[in-house]
Structure 1
């Protein structure tokens, strides 16, 4: 009965579409265009299902406000707890001149304003990929605009996906065209772009290890000021326990965690802002003159090299800013802009100003400036909130790490891991169990190994500035190629933002041997993993592309009378878009039996965040139609989760039926158009009856095959280095990649295929 209802719906939909002249013209034009630029071997066409809207609904203000509130608890914990350790890290040897405080305050003010507010909130957030942020979101924008990716799976039909097209302004195209052409024609430039993307991703994940360590250690260490019985060992172990609990609650999801943490961070911002105002009024209101950048010049003139080295401490004031962009997919641009401008930015400026006023009168207390500047009655309440806030500080970068791993996974740059959507109300909120546990182990190891915030701070600065610098490079490319920004604005951005970040980068690299090597070590390990996986992934795809089965060979194989056709529907999975993978011929050679209906499915990731469900499937039918063989490309964005709402096979069958219905509708209207143009007196009613019978026969065949049972065929390919390969290639393929493949999730677990109806077809590729 359910299938009859589906068939009736399809038939009614077809009748409605035929009655709409305008829809007919649009669909006919689209169909003819796809026939000219068909990428499924000349015969495929995109199918959008029933009527769909290409424009997503605007987010209402109540949702924006809710997300803005949530973002306070998820995004700003890291940058919000920086006042705990910035002045301590900037003056590790004490304050030599009272005016140095004004110079550092001025540096902090302009750094937060320039990098956090102007660069990220006003510029970088605009470079989102349909609501997604992070290094891979920027890379996907460039891949969509220029052919800089290494996997040759681009299709003309991809540009018809609602989210795919880039809206670019007119004019200033000469430089954009030149840069685009340069990137497309240079393999070295493509490799540099991919390398930079992987490096930024690795550094951000490394940042996710260091943030919890320094934040929690800094906050818990405050207890030693009021209690001399507490030793540093006790502080370390308390921090370890807190970190384990923090990672344990990640499985609850960003939605629940955000609503739990947001009130605490709001209280934290209220405390540090209020205490800042109190200290500003009580000790030295004259520090307001630090808004004059002259004090920065004076600070460098007086301290020279020491001032440059101290920038490694100042930069900690903007730690967590990259998470603001990486976590964008969990929220929205407007919500993050509101929460930053209305809550976070004012509270931070007041906190740093208040501490500067306190230090002007107490130069000797810089090592414990934050806790010593707290008024007596507020000490313990502030300490408790500080510990809670430091726990939450880790949440921002952890959430960002989950998002960027999901993006890199979908673009073939990360080994297979499980991605769980944790919110049915808000898109983009994900949890990656494997990453969560590995981060927890790394955080505990770093905390036990370093034990103090000094060396962790040195390592932390390198990770932060490296990611920011790479983001600026990508933004410059986006400005030139996609936004086509005026050249003077691009030069201004590079000279101002770029030069500031390079100065900070040179400063943090100076402390490489004092703990700064740690994020680079993390990045090296992660880069090795990502490069190995991506390199072999591309080699496998190239091998399948080179050895694919042509449409003519497929017809010969399927039409072979020696093959037995058994009842049922067979789904053959592959990542290959252009052609049938060689593993099918290997299967037929060993098992001379095929099901009634065959569907070759290519799972493909597009360089966009999401693909609407109704635009996800591309079908073609292999001629002659009596063979009942179909090709299908299933397209996902890098934030889409497969089988999230209903079983994949059910959605596939429904879209297959819609494709058959559209085939009938298109062919009928083309023939009718030919009759009108040729003046033929052919009996149109007879033609329609034949086509309706053909339509009913195909639908009936699909239904019978569906009820007879679905079998999922998974190509379980092993890869080995070809004979005569170099030692490096053998290590890459035979050892590194094989080790990762055997110790990570199998493909059927990622696709969520029922084990009872799954068959694996093994084959070895010599790469």
Structure 2
């Protein structure tokens, strides 16, 4: 986000509205279920004024410490050229670590596991948000209870079905609808606070402290429900690149935080005067005539919250692909102007199937609350650990020690929340853990397999410089046109070229070695995208560099090359691409365990074809097959 945009009042206002609609959709729906779960959960907690004020104080100060201070004030300072998110933070932390070192290994493990757990969050958030919104129908009449799950599934199917159309048209409605939602939260809360103003005492941290001192065991277990108020905190950081720090901060302190706390305090005020409202304090704050419109508005807000998480899953997967942790997958751009608006069919249908199974299996938002929190708090811990390695750079003396003291406080809070949520693993927390572990195993298997495959291929490769000189001195039969050999290594001869010479015994008039690299920054400036080096009379080397949030486009690269090297004219009908296609077979002394080798082979076979991923015309491609022992 540029400074000029941030300082332009009109643009800043638009960014604030967008941030309210996209960034805060998840945390904005937390009042639907948080306070209810604090008292209706698995903790024997009496509904008396001391407990009500203590729980409210815990919620308020959790929001202030974790969201307002940790994420808004500190973590968002760790940006990778304006981009946030745990993978961007991992890339930043890895810059000062020696490749292959133990430190680099742990940075990768922390970042990858945090990203893997995001998929569990992406499945639970739509389920719990939509279910909790639709459960308000029960306040009107229990006649509709049997239809809540079918309606929730129908909403989910519709939500995931329209993903292919993109979020551009829907995005225009996100901000205004979410603003209306936050204003409704504030209005409902104020109406109840007026009836019992003593609830404002909960803003005093002493009530949270006294609650902990009086019932430390219960308070610790209760943190597993309090964390529901923090859902979506990671989105603040992940979506920083779309809206910028100023817009996200102004939106939080100007509307979101006040609206959330007014609503929580309003629910507490209602419980002080009407304890039986605990069965659903959010909807019971509203007068009877308002419940159904509120259900509709809550459902819309839940859909928006789900949309943000789904888009986040696409973004995380796309970044992981570019960083080499996930096989190539089909990525479709849904907007001609916004590069970040993408659609990934494979991820989309996986999420839909998982969400439907989750809704059918857990049935209610209360049951889902037991599954929620573990993945979020674990990712929070990972983010804080990586922040230690990034934020302290360039600081010295008391500034550095002060920063580490604050990060240590955040880590203690994160670990307390994580430990409390770990108690819920057997009740449902196992679900996001399993999803995260599966994603982590897949990513590490792919990264390790690709590294070992590259090393194996490198063993039989020849130095490029001497080989080109040899071909120039004693050329084989030359044919018309340009041949482009895709290669991952800039110093050795591609296997596809060796196989072509061995079997076809010809060489094109002009030969290009093309290497596509991914940098640890989100976007690479166009002027730094391409470098061209002439290796001989008819041999050229092209290195194209993309950021981890960009999608490689080979035709666009070749067009840029022509501007730099006029003698290279890539006419589509006169240009051929030569690619290597490896088949994994078992070695006599395997370097991978049998299940990892089979998993890697399966992932390789199902990866999106290179032609589709790099936008290469498929009718101009020649694939040279080879077997590699692992």
TM range (shorter): over 0.9
Shift in CA distance, 535/57, structure 1 to aligned 2, threshold 3 Å = farther
Partners in 2 of 1:443 and 1:484 — Cα distance?
Answer: 48
Q: Secondary structure at the match of 2:514?
A: strand
Moved more, 487-496 or 356-365: 487-496
Q: Shift of residue 548 of structure 1?
A: 3.0
1:577–1:604 CA contact under 8 A, matched in 2: no
Go from structure 1 to structure 2 and tell me whether the alpha carbon gap of 1:259 and 1:552 turns closer, same or farther (over 3 Å shift). closer
* Cα distance in 1, alignment partners of residues 340 and 87 from structure 2: 14
How far apart in 1 are the matches of 2:158 and 2:224?
30
The answer to whether the Cα contact below 8 Å between 1:544 and 1:576 also exists between their aligned partners in 2 is no
Corresponding residue SS for 1:506: helix
Distance change in 2, residues 1:332/1:255 (3 Å): farther
- Kindly indicate whether residue 22 of structure 2 is the aligned counterpart of residue 100 of structure 1: no
Q: Tell me if structure 2 keeps the 8 A contact 1:201–1:404.
A: yes
Q: Give CA deviations for 1:370-424 in whole Å, capped at 9, x if unaligned.
A: 1111133422222211111112121221122121111111000112112233334
Structure 1 position 751 matched with structure 2 position 614: yes
Corresponding residue for residue 119 of structure 1: 70
> For structure 1, which segment, 629-638 or 340-349, has the greater mean C-alpha deviation from structure 2 after superposition?
340-349
For 1:590 and 1:256, how far apart are their aligned partners in 2?
Answer: 53
Which residue pairs with 1:160 in the alignment? none
1:729 aligns with 2:554: no
CA distance in 2, matches of 1:439, 1:482: 41
Q: Report the Cα offset of residue 66 of structure 1.
A: 2.0
Aligned residue pairs: how many? 624
Structure 2 CA distance for aligned equivalents of residues 369 and 552 of structure 1: 74
Matched, 1:589 2:497: no
CA distance in 1, matches of 2:216, 2:269: 24
Contact 1:583–1:763 (CA under 8 A) maintained in structure 2: no
Deviation string for 1:335-370 (max 9, x for gaps)? 222222222111111111111111111223212111
Q: Match for 2:407 among 445, 469, 494? A: 494
> Aligned residue for 1:81?
29
Query: CA offsets, 1:129-165, max 9 Å, x none?
Result: 12221111011112334334x5xxxxxxxxxxxxxxx
After the TM superposition, which residues 171-570 of structure 1 pair with which residues of structure 2 at under 5 Å, given as runs?
187-231=101-145, 233-282=146-195, 284-481=196-393, 486-559=399-472, 561=474, 563-570=476-483
Question: How far did 1:556 drift?
Answer: 4.7
- Give the unaligned 5+ runs of structure 1: 1-54, 151-186, 658-698
Shift, 1:579, TM fit: 2.8
Residue of 509, 526, 529 corresponding to 1:616? 529
Task: Tell me if structure 2 keeps the 8 A contact 1:64–1:332.
Answer: no
Is 503-512 or 296-305 further displaced after alignment?
Answer: 296-305
In structure 1, the partner of 2:82 is: 131
Confirm or deny: 8 A CA contact 2:496 2:578 kept in the other structure.
no
Deviation of 1:109 after TM superposition, in Å, equals: 0.8
Q: CA deviation at 1:208?
A: 0.3
Shift in CA distance, 581/716, structure 1 to aligned 2, threshold 3 Å: same
What displacement does 1:324 show?
1.9
CA separation of 1:482 and 1:199: change in aligned 2, threshold 3 A: farther
Highest CA radius of gyration, 1 or 2?
A: 1
Deviation at 1:258, TM superposition (A): 1.9
| Alignment correspondent of 2:559 | 650
Corresponding residue of 1:713: 578
Give the distance between the partners of 1:349 and 1:764, measured in 2 at CA.
62
Shift of 1:577: 3.2
Decide whether the 8 Å contact of 2:97 with 2:104 is kept in 1. Answer: no
| 8 A contact 1:320–1:396 mirrored in 2 | no
Instruction: Give the root-mean-square deviation of aligned CA atoms.
Output: 2.1
Q: Secondary structure in 1 aligned to 2:608? A: coil
Going from structure 1 to structure 2, the CA distance change for 1:438 and 1:467 (only over 3 Å counts) comes to same
Q: Residue 13 of structure 2: which of 65, 71, 82 is its match?
A: 65
1:22-74: CA deviation from partner (whole Å, max 9, x where unpaired): xxxxxxxxxxxxxxxxxxxxxxxxxxxxxxxxx99756443332232122222
